Amino acid sequence: LNMNNTVPNLFDLDGSGDPNVPYDILTTTVLKLLRSMPINYVGNKKKLLENILSVLHDNNIKYDTVFDAFCGSSVVSSVFRSMGKKVVANDLLSFSSSGAVFYLMCDKIPLSRSAAIELTKDSGQAAPKFVQGRYEKFFTDDEARLLDVIRHNFLQSKMGRSGTFTGLGLDGSPKFVGGTGKDVSSPGDMLASAFFMHFVCNHVLHRCFSGGRYYSGQTLSRIDKRQQKTSKTIADDILASLDENHHPGSSMIAHIGSMPTGTVYNCDILKLLESGRVDADLAYFDPPYGGDSSDYASLYRVCEEYIRGPSIDDLDGTKDAFRRFRDKKAYQSNFESMLDLCRKFPSWLISFNESSFASIDDISAIIRRFRTKIDVRPVRYRYNYRKTGGGENKENEYLVLAR
């Protein structure tokens, strides 16, 4: 791809961007596509993508490989893939990393419509109760039954028997969760399992998040609140959402599927860095900020448990790892340990905002202990999921480039 193929920045949302960033046509298309995609992942950087590319461009950062250490919705990783970069993505949440498997490792939708239809069919046989009885506050009886049927069919299928493939584990081998754990899947089945479980959950999240306050820390609305706002059920077009032709990720994969595939990990960031497995020219850090909405295990509890099986509270190591960037007290020492383990990456790009665990000055001071060349760029944009009575709630977001 020709990176000299300069096009104007059509997405200059806040008026402060560089209008001459050299996105090539494919990346421009992907940025445009992402703008039209309904991405409600908490803390996603959809609105910051152009700024991220500008900071790197303005500072003349040269990189072929990128490590997206907390990839979340994979929007940042997807843009880097569109640029032909070799991407390594990681997230501790299996719901997130299974999405990254789709966006970074697939070259097309890995499951046919007919196979998806099979998995949603209710044969009338008893499916083990997983959602039913456990999450009745969020779902109607019919919805819970449907989700149990789907989960059961998946785990019984050839593709799902080993569990959901969620990327690589700490030892560098494929990680499967929720199933027998035995690595018996074919490569095609592995990709299909990640795709299927991720997008069933994604569909549920889109149907059940009605905005506003979280219900006891979760992104799903309580059933009665949801029913006040929408008559849509989870069954509504669940098939369409998995159908190759109408799937929300299908345009994306049609565009970036021809670019080199990347690597995905489903690990605690500190443990992964300690393993020494990851190498990259550029590391992008977008950790939970340590303020409100930093508790990702709770925010996505239902989906995470649907994929993994056991309650998050029973996964000791994972539960503790989710705390690293949640509690303000422990935050700083975990952040420092992380940077200490990242010395080998030549460039760091770090996201923070004003509600982070510390002020941007204090955060910069910490980073300065590790790096001499630091560039702090404030970016203003509006959070649309945190509207307050007084109109727009603007918050400064910061991109810190450190070399």
Where on the chain is the footprint of ligand SAM (CB under 6 A)? 41, 43-45, 70-73, 75-76, 90-93, 96, 268-269, 286-288, 296, 321-322, 324-325
Task: Give the nearest distance from C-beta 73 to ligand SAM in angstroms.
Answer: 3
Instruction: Estimate to the nearest angstrom the gap between the alpha carbon of 75 and the chain centroid.
Output: 7
Nearer Cβ to ligand SAM (96/202):
96
Whose CB is nearest to ligand SAM? 72
Q: How far is the CB of 118 from ligand SAM (least distance, A)?
A: 31
Closest CB to ligand SAM among residues 235, 248: 248
**Cβ(194)–Cβ(162) below 8 Å:** no
Q: How far is the CB of 282 from ligand SAM (least distance, A)?
A: 14
CB of 108 to ligand SAM, least distance (A): 23
In angstroms, give the least distance from the CB of 384 to ligand SAM. Answer: 15
The 10 Å Cβ neighbour count of residue 242 is: 25
Rank residues 116 and 321 by Cβ distance to ligand SAM and give the closer one.
Answer: 321
Minimum Å gap between C-beta 2 and ligand SAM is 27
First to last CA, the chain: 27
CA distances (Å), origin 228, targets 30, 101, 145, 317, 321: 35, 35, 22, 39, 36
Least Å from the CB of residue 324 to ligand SAM: 5
- Least separation in angstroms between CB 308 and ligand SAM: 13
For ligand SAM, give the closer residue by CB, 9 or 77. 77
- Which of residues 41 and 111 has its CB atom nearest to ligand SAM in the complex? 41
Shortest distance in whole angstroms from residue 272 CB to ligand SAM: 8
Q: Are 342 and 363 in contact (CB under 8 A)?
A: no
Q: Which is nearer to ligand SAM, 152 or 301 (CB)?
A: 301
Nearest to ligand SAM of 165, 284 (CB atom): 284
Report whether 348 contacts 283 (CB < 8 A).
Answer: yes
Q: How many Å apart are CA 332 and CA 329, to the nearest integer?
A: 7
CB of 313 to ligand SAM, least distance (A): 16
Residue type, 212: G
* Residue placing its CB nearer to ligand SAM in the complex, 91 or 143: 91
Nearer Cβ to ligand SAM (329/373): 329
Shorter beta-carbon distance to ligand SAM: residue 28 or 94: 94
